Amino acid sequence: MKKATCIAIDDEPLALLVITQFCERFGGLELTTFSEPLVGLEEIRRRKPDLVFLDIEMNSISGLDIARDLPEECCFIFTTAHAQYALNGFELDAVDFLHKPFAYERFEKAVEKAIRRIETERDRTPDSIVVKQEYNNVTIPTNDILYIEAMENYTKIFRESGGYILSRTNMKTLQEILPEESFLRIHRSYIVPIDRVEMFSKKKIKLAGQETLLPVGRQFANHIYDLLIARNSGGSRTNL
């Protein structure tokens, strides 16, 4: 792959030196370091690097807060001396969690994992999305998505080809990466493809070929109803 752009944020200069040396040893990584977290975050927003190395417990801000504010396309690896944050890393979809002091070999494995994710994202086409399933990334053609349902900390992506993908990619992220003109959030727990809507009301929606009726959230009802009426997308008004 082409050279990956990287940013490291850590308020300890020695930690940044270690990451710099390891990146040079790995090769193919273009690294910029920041000891001021908020300055680093602004640069991440401006440059949108491929990979971010991120400490957690810093003086001015938590790395967990920075992770929540990163651009969607940025992969990130936590580098911290505090092992108790490992679960947070998993929940925030970190590529990996490096517990200081970490050896080069452990760093190398984390970066290789990040590069695999970056390459997968670069290979994504407008007609597909990439979601996280366990520790792997799965590419799903958008025309294979029947509907999406939120399930606590997971999402179920039901497929036209059968079965479903159980992913930790959250509904907000899915809504952002799906083509806006083709998918519709109808409820806090449901996203549907617009062209599969067969019948609808302000309370429920029926998808073509599906017996189960999906609920429409009150906050979405008027917008959805007006949009579907305006599109006249093969659906019909009904008292569902």
Greatest mean pLDDT range, 16-25, 145-154, 190-199: 16-25
Task: Using alpha carbons, list the distances in angstroms from residue 70 to 7, 112, 170.
Answer: 12, 21, 15
Nearest to residue 212, comparing CAs of 142, 144, 145, 146?
A: 146
Residue 213, pLDDT above cutoff 50: yes
According to DSSP, residue 28 is labeled S
> What pLDDT is attached to residue 75?
92
Q: Is 191 exposed, middle or buried (0-12, 13-18, 19+ CB in 10 A)?
A: buried
Lowest mean pLDDT segment, chosen from 36-40, 99-103, 124-128, 191-195: 124-128
Q: How many CB atoms lie within 10 A of CB 91?
A: 13
Nearest to residue 129, comparing CAs of 76, 93, 165, 94?
A: 165
Q: Are 192 and 205 in contact (CB under 8 A)?
A: yes
Under the banding of pLDDT at 50, 70 and 90, the label for residue 125 is low
**pTM of the full predicted structure?**
0.57
> What pLDDT is attached to residue 234?
47
Residue 221, pLDDT above cutoff 50: yes
Amino acid at 138: V
Amino acid at 19: I
What is the average pLDDT across 19-46?
95
Nearest to residue 140, comparing CAs of 176, 167, 113?
A: 167
Residue 36, pLDDT above cutoff 90: yes
> What pLDDT is attached to residue 103?
97
> What pLDDT is attached to residue 235?
44
Mean pLDDT (the chain) is: 88
Q: What's the rounded Cα separation, in Å, for the pair 47 and 57? A: 24
Q: What's the rounded Cα separation, in Å, for the pair 22 and 2? A: 18
